[in-house]
Each structure stands twice: as C-alpha cells, then as structure tokens.
C-alpha cells in the first residue's frame, strides 16, 4: 500500500449496522486521517447516502473490487462476510481490522485491545481481530491488575445490552417494552439469538443466553470471553469462567468480575491506584457517595469504568469489581478505530 | 394459645404492601386454615377494605392490642415495625413469622427455608425469621448439592427485580420506562434505595446497589446473602461472596451462582438428578432446546427454577447455575406462609 500524506483510504464494511454507524462517527470524532472513505454494505443498502464529515457518501456494495486502493478496512458485517471478503481486501493491499468472531482465535491473527497488547499488532499478516465486546472491557480492567499482581483466576457474570445483538434487537426491546406497558401480548422474534429456534421476550426480562449453545453447555458468547481473554492476556492457562446474560437495556455492558491475584500485597486501595493510572480506564468507586458506573452513565463514552471494588471476605487475594463500558464504542467501534490509529502511529501497516 | 379446630386466627402486618398483598393471596390459594383474619397496616391505611376469600375485611391499625387472640402473625411492614410490634404479638401468645431483616441474624431466632432447615423452627421462642428474598432461592438450590457433595465455596451475582424494593419502586420503573420511550427526561426518586441520598434511573439501566452500603464496601443486601446463607445451611465458615444488582424488570430474581463442592463424583448429570428430586425446586435445563428459566417465566410460581448447569472448565469440583424464582412468592410471601404451614403440621406453635 502507498502511504498517503493526505491521509488514508479507509473502508467501513457493514456501514449501515449498529457498529458500522458507530465506526463512522468515531472516525469523525477522532479526526482520523482520511483521504477517501468507502462505505460498504450489502447489495440491499447500496445506493443509500450517508453523511461523513458533512459530505454525502454513497454506500457501495461490498465486493472484492471495492477494496482496490484501500489502506485500512474496518469490518463489522458478520463473520461470513469477513471470511469471504477480508482475504480479498488483504490481497489488494489493505490491512483489515475485523470486528467479528471469524479470525479471533486464529493463531496467525493478533487479537488486540491496544491498552493491553498493542505490540501483538506487529505480527499481523494483514488481519487484526477486534475482540468480542464483553471481553474487551474486562481485559482492559484486568490488565493493570495482572501487570502488578498477576492473575490466578477470573469468574465473570455479565449484564449485556441488546445493541450487542444489532439494531433489530434494540428495535425489538423498544417495541416490546411499549407493548408490555400497553398490556399487549409480547411476540418475540429476534432475541436471544436472531435465527435460533426459540425466542423469548426481552422487555422486563433477563435471558441467560447470548449467541448459540456449544456442546459443553456454554454459549458461544461465554466461550468467546473465556478463550479471548486468555489469548489477549497471553495467559493460556488462566482459569476463566463466564456466564453471559442479555438484559433489557439498550447500550453498555456491565460485568460482575471476581478475580484472584497471584502475588500478596494487593488491596482495594492499591487496585484503585492501578485503575486510576490505567489508560482507557476510569475509576468510579465511592460507596460513601453512592458512586459507581451504570450502563446509562457509560453510554457514549470511550472509557471502561470500574467501581464496586471489594476484597473477598474469605479469599485473601480475591477481589470483586463492577466493570461497565459502551459495548458499541470500546466494545466495538472505538477499539477497532483505536487499533487503526495504533497501526498508523507505529507505522505497522507494512 | 388455643388450637382452634375451626382454624387459626391469623394476622398479616403490612397488608397493603407488595409482599402483604401476596401473603393474603397465598393464604387464599393454599386454603390456609383460618378462623379469623386480621389485616393490619399503618394508621394511614386503616379503614380501607380488602377482599379475603370473597369477603370484605377492614384494615386495622397495627397496634399492640390488635394481636389479642392472634395465633400466627405474618409481618412484612419493615424492620422498625417488626422490632416494635413482634414482641407485643409474642407477648399476647402469637407466633410471629417475620419477613424483615430485624431478627434474621439474632441467634435466638430461627431463620428458615422449610425445604432446607425446617427443624430449626422447633427452637423458636415466638419469632421465626423469613430470610431475604435473594437468599431463599439460592439456598433452596444449594441444599440438595450440599447434602450430596458438601459445599466448599459459593460466589453469586444477582439480577434482581424492582418489586423487591416495594410497590413504589415498581411504579417508578413503569413510569420511567414510559417516559424514556417518550423521549422525556428521567427523574429518579426511589431507586436504588428509597430515602438514600442519590437516585439513579432504573429504566433501561442496571444499578449495582441494593440497600445501603456497609463500611466494608459491600451493600447490606450482599451481606444479608452472605450471612443468612451460612446461618440457614448451618455452615458458619462457608465462603460466600455476593454482588447484588437491581435491574429493570418487575418480578423474580435471577442469580448466576458459582459453587465448589467438597466431595468428588459430582457431575452435571448428578446435579440435574438432585434438582429434579429436590422439594420446591424445578429443573429447567435443556440447552439443546434453548430451555432455561427467566424472570418472566418464573413469575407467579412458587418454585425455585434451576438451569444453565455447567461444570467449570478449570475447577474439577466447580459448577455454575442459573437460579430464578418469584421474589414476592418463594422470596417472601410463600416462604412465610410455608413456615406457618410447617408450624401447624408439626404442632410447633407451642
């Protein structure tokens, strides 16, 4: 690829989706150095017009040829599209930042949260994977603790927003909530998993299923958290357990995280110091003043918020945290753009 | 007290509250042997009329004299009322089943979930405490596991309904949800804790605070779960950790429970057998058919539902469960009435 002093030719694949739209907004907000932007989507969306930095941009169909001349392609159009088109983009000289599960566990593909393992980007062969939303915010909080005290085990229960299942799921929550308040019958069609056999109401409910079930009884979302966390932290043997639950709110995931550290000397005060100093992490923890993060308070922000830090009452080196972040930003669009920024800053496009 | 072959003189204290109303309904549903019912509440509610078994009953003010002749008094009007009036009821010969936190940790007072420790009722000196809602459903699920394999540790993250904070909280969720859908400003006034300094929106949000904060950084709800679980299971040294979160649904609490058993030989299949055989517990666990309990599906039912049973992927004797129950029924009204039924069946009124 040719480095352009005027900026880069950037493509967004899945430009009309919940994450794609946040990618476009984040590129604008960050004043990302762009010479040309290609907004790509399915044939159905081609021809629509979207504003980018105040100018109308026509959405084009995501075809292999659309990647000619592209420097950086941000993918968020589902795993099968990434499987098909990411190699085509790489073949044409682009570096792909892929926000699907297609390549995350591929040993050849770096899986990156810049605050945690940006050096892994260097080893890329054209594709860098963006981790699952619920993984990103957890590892951002775990990393400063790992660095200072080591990690012995992690158990997480999640509280996840519907927007993680796309704009159709957010629409379903909205419509269903209104129907519920009107005393009408609920007719679930999307959640917990679009296209799966059964659907449950999400309005005023909680669904202990995110993504499809695996043979071992865990959902794919739970296995993503377990496997991706180990890969990103370079701790293949770290015991990680996850229970993932979909809840009736629109944006931001929250996580109840239990962790045990390896070294002695950790305390709530020391953990607070670590989080205060950690990049991309904001400490919001003052029980005396009822201060802690919530999904609504984290919405629209790029940081990972940590609160409710407590020492376990029985396990000397055990601690509990409450971790909240906007699943569409740090959990998806912002982490992808941040990877792209890191690539540029470090000259890692190659 | 005099045993009445025609039934018992039963009083419900807090008859106009969310739990009090469910107590009245449960007494009706169970065809509880009642000769006279006294519905007691604050002075403000006195004079109102309520239907009981099709007949109008006038609500009386809860004064010491109101307990003359009462055999069994079910209290659910807040801790300070119980502190004041339960001894007055006992003095007049009544047995009190108290659904507040006033006496739960009193060494002289049995804390009872009938499926778990009904024998403890025998030791009562007039008052039997009904545990906290989130504790009851968890110990009902833990007990069959403890009995078969012993318990080594428990870590729980809760997903709790607003009705646990009373009818005003349920009203707030309803009104706020509608305001949110209308695009109006949210004005939180009740949750997370009525009368506490700060209030947060609950509509389309998650609040990691239930009840007030203690000095150790845990909330009172979390400490209730920790301490009551040990007392009910007679396992003073069992490590129990809890993170309690209020969520935007009306009824039923859900819990993500991690447990480690002491003995070898436990498996998902064996745990399923245990839950299938356990009184008051319903196994609802078939990942292949996306079958698991949810708050909406448990609403209005007296059982504790268990699903999502998985072996921990690293800890040989570790298991994960998803436990759901109607917080107003098994979590409060039904457990109280069940204690009263157990007292009668076993002639433990003394």
Tell me: the pLDDT tens digits for B230-283?
Answer: 999 999 999 999 999 999 999 999 999 999 999 999 999 999 999 999 999 999
Q: Is the pLDDT of residue B3 over 50?
A: no
256-285 in chain B: CB under 8 A from chain A: 256, 258, 268
Q: For chain B, what is the mean pLDDT? A: 96
Residues A144 and A177 placed together within one structural domain of the fold? yes
Residues A153 and A263 placed together within one structural domain of the fold? yes
**Domain contains A1:** no
Q: What is the CATH number of the domain that holds B247?
A: 3.30.360.10
Token digits of residue A172: 């379903």
**Domain contains B313:** yes
Contact flag A200-B159 (C-beta cutoff 8 Å): no
Contact flag A243-B196 (C-beta cutoff 8 Å): no
**Domain contains A350:** no
φ, ψ at A338 (rounded to 5°): -65, -40
Residues 6+ apart with CB under 8 A from B118: B112, B342, B346
Contact call for residues A284 and A291 (beta carbons, < 8 A):
yes
Cis previous bond, A192, omega within 30:
yes
**Domain contains B1:** no
> Which chain B residues touch A313 with a CB distance below 8 Å?
216, 218, 226, 239, 241
Q: Is the pLDDT of residue B95 over 90?
A: yes
Residues A65 and A170 placed together within one structural domain of the fold? no
Any chain B CB within 8 A of the CB of A185? no
Based on the residue annotation, tell me whether A320 is a catalytic residue of this protein: no
**Domain contains B2:** no
How large a percentage of chain A has pLDDT more than 70?
99
* Residue range B278-309, pLDDT digits in tens: 999 999 999 999 999 999 999 999 999 999 99
Residues B34 and B180 placed together within one structural domain of the fold? no
Any chain B CB within 8 A of the CB of A208? yes
Quickly list H helices, chain A: 18-29, 79-91, 114-117, 133-149, 167-181, 220-233, 268-277, 295-298, 334-345
**Domain contains B152:** yes
Token digits of residue B284: 């609802």
Closest-CA residue of chain A to B252: A205
**Residue B230, min C-alpha distance to chain A (Å):** 13
User: Where in the sequence is the domain holding B214, given as residue range(s)?
Assistant: 135-327
Residues B268 and B339 placed together within one structural domain of the fold? no
Q: What is the pLDDT of residue A350?
A: 77
**Domain contains A32:** yes
Question: Does residue A246 have a known ligand-binding role?
Answer: yes
Based on the residue annotation, tell me whether B244 is a catalytic residue of this protein: no
More confident residue, B6 or B159: B159
Q: Quote the ipTM score.
A: 0.96
**Residue A70, min C-alpha distance to chain B (Å):** 40
Residues A303 and A339 placed together within one structural domain of the fold? no
What would the DSSP string read from start to end of A56-102? EEE-EE--GGGGTT-SEEEE-S-HHHHHHHHHHHHHTTPEEEE-SSS
Contact flag A205-B247 (C-beta cutoff 8 Å): no
Any chain A CB within 8 A of the CB of B226? yes
Residue to substitute from A214, A294, A326, interface B, most B β-carbons within 10 A: A294
Contact flag B241-A250 (C-beta cutoff 8 Å): no
Q: Give SS3 for A159.
A: strand
**Domain contains A53:** yes
What mean pLDDT do residues B194-214 have? 97
Q: How confident is the model at residue A5 (pLDDT cuts 50, 70, 90)?
A: low
Identified catalytic residue from B9, B133, B199, B244: B133
Residues B204 and B341 placed together within one structural domain of the fold? no
Out of A239, A243, A248, the one facing B248 most closely (by C-beta) is: A248
């Amino acid at each position: 690829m040719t480095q352009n002093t005027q900026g880069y030719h950037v493509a967004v694949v899945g430009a009309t989706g919940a994450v794609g739209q946040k990618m476009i907004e984040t590129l604008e907000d960050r004043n990302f150095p762009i010479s040309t932007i290609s907004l790509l989507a399915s044939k159905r969306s081609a021809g629509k017009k979207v504003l980018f930095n105040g100018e109308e941009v026509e959405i084009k169909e995501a075809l292999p040829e659309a990647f000619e001349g592209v420097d950086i392609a941000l993918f968020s159009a589902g795993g099968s599209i990434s499987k098909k088109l990411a190699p085509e983009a790489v073949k044409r000289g682009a570096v792909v930042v892929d926000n699907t599960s297609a390549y995350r566990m591929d040993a050849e593909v770096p899986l990156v949260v810049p605050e945690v393992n940006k050096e892994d980007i260097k080893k890329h062969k054209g594709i860098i994977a963006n981790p699952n939303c619920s993984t990103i915010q957890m590892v951002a909080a775990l990393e400063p603790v790992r660095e200072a005290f080591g990690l012995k085990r992690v158990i997480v229960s999640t509280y996840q927003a519907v927007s993680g299942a796309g704009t159709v799921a957010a629409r379903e929550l909205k419509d269903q909530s209104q129907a519920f308040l009107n005393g009408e019958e609920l007719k679930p069609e999307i959640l917990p998993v679009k296209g799966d056999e059964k659907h449950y109401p999400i309005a005023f409910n909680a669904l202990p299923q995110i993504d499809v079930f695996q043979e071992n009884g865990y959902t794919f979302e739970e296995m993503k958290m377990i496997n991706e966390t180990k890969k990103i932290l370079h701790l293949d043997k770290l015991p990680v357990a996850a229970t993932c639950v979909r809840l009736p709110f629109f944006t931001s995931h929250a996580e109840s995280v239990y962790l045990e550290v390896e070294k002695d000397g950790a305390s709530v005060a020391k953990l607070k110091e670590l989080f205060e100093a950690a990049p991309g992490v904001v400490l919001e923890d003052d029980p005396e003043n009822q201060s802690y993060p919530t999904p609504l308070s984290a919405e629209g922000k790029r940081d990972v918020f940590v609160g409710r830090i407590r020492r376990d009452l029985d396990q000397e080196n055990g601690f509990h945290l409450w971790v909240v972040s906007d699943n569409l930003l740090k959990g998806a669009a912002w982490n992808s753009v941040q990877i792209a920024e890191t690539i540029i800053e470090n000259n890692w496009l190659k």
